[in-house]
Amino acid sequence: MVKYRGRKEETVDLKVKSITISMTGTVKTKTDRGFGFISREGEAKDLFFHSKDLVGVTFDEIQVGAEVTFDVVEGDKGLSAKNVKLA
């Protein structure tokens, strides 16, 4: 939190949302609503992905159990996978 002193004192909440880490994982589940989850080795929590985050493959082509590469980004609802590609 940053305090800014101008004519009156205001409190401005600054949030950083630019964490990007490239990783590999396995498609754990996918739904008929266009999203799914990717498991990462050594991580307890799976990552959400949406069909709009796929690159070079369609949602119908990607299968449960497929090895994928992806970027981990922090969004409004926590970490998720973006730029998901078949490994």
Domains of the chain, first to last: 17-86 (2.40.50.140)
The C-alpha R_g of the chain, in whole angstroms, comes to 17
Q: End-to-end alpha-carbon separation of the chain, Å?
A: 40
Of 34-43, 47-56, 72-81, where does mean pLDDT reach its minimum? Answer: 72-81
CB atoms within 10 A of CB 36: 22
| 6 or 66, which is more confident | 66
| Dihedral Cα 23, 28, 32, 33, nearest 10 deg | -40
Residue 53 gets the label, from left (phi > 0), alpha (psi -120 to 50) or beta, of alpha
For the entire predicted model, the pTM comes to 0.75
